[in-house]
Amino acid sequence: MTTTTRPARDDSNGRSAQPVTSAARERLLATASGLFYREGIRAVGVERILAEAPATRATFYRHFPSKDDLVVAYLRGVDAGIRAQVQAAVEAAPSPADAIRAIGDAVADDLASPEFRGCAFLKAAAEYPDPQDPVRQVILEHRAWYTDTLTELFAEVFGDSPRRGKPEHAARHFMMMRDGAMSGAHLDGVEDVGEAFRRGVEGLLTMLH
């Protein structure tokens, strides 16, 4: 049976105790993650999650003191998956430009997935507008990491070219195109949007330096 590991707690002497594992926590998180992504966070209540997991209310609150704690765990799981995907693309690519292309290809491929329902972070941001909300903070942290990663890659691509563009501008342009593609793919046609996004990424690589 697969289990999820929670962070280790410190004992009274300041030493890290052994991680606590719980199949129930993983089941709750997996169930909630699927529902949140497909139907929206506010639209899914705790009772629905408990019914589909299934789990008792006591089990739920033992692992997640509130629904928002569960939402944070859901988004951190999405964040971890995207970070792993980007890291794999960077490590496998023969050059920084190819790494950016690979990241762009992964975005375009996601658009065509039957399970695709848009960007989990953009959808969550629409439901949590308060910049001080812990959920919103996870969203902002993810986007900052994504933009910083792209900025570093574009800096390597542009190098010392006399026509060198600003890497941070290219990274933000990539993010803007990504947001637009993820928001409009099902409205404007997945294949057309995916190809337009790929052309846009190639343009960033070849026109700015």
Q: What is the pLDDT of residues 20-29, one digit of tens each?
A: 458 999 999 9
Which pLDDT score is estimated for 160? 79
Domains in the chain, number: 2
Place of tokens 């790929």: 198
Mean per-residue pLDDT, 61-65: 95
CA distance 151 to 170: 7
Inform me whether the pLDDT recorded for 151 exceeds 90: yes
Is 4 among the domain residues?
A: no
pLDDT in tens, 3-62: 333 333 334 443 333 334 589 999 999 999 999 999 999 999 999 999 999 999 999 999
Helix (H, G, I), strand (E, B) or coil at 128: coil
CATH at 34: 1.10.10.60
Q: Which residues, at least 6 apart from 104, have a Cβ–Cβ distance to it below 8 Å?
A: 174, 197, 198, 201
The answer to whether residues 102 and 170 belong to one domain is yes
Q: Is the dihedral of CA 169, 174, 177, 180 positive or negative?
A: negative
Q: Which of 8, 151, 138 is nearest to 80 (CA)?
A: 138
Q: Which of 40, 65, 90 is the last residue of a domain?
A: 65
Place of tokens 């964040």: 79
- Whole-model pTM above 0.75? yes
Asked if 81 and 99 sit in the same domain, the reply is yes
Cα separation, 22 vs 1, whole angstroms: 10
Residue 50 and residue 93 in one domain: no
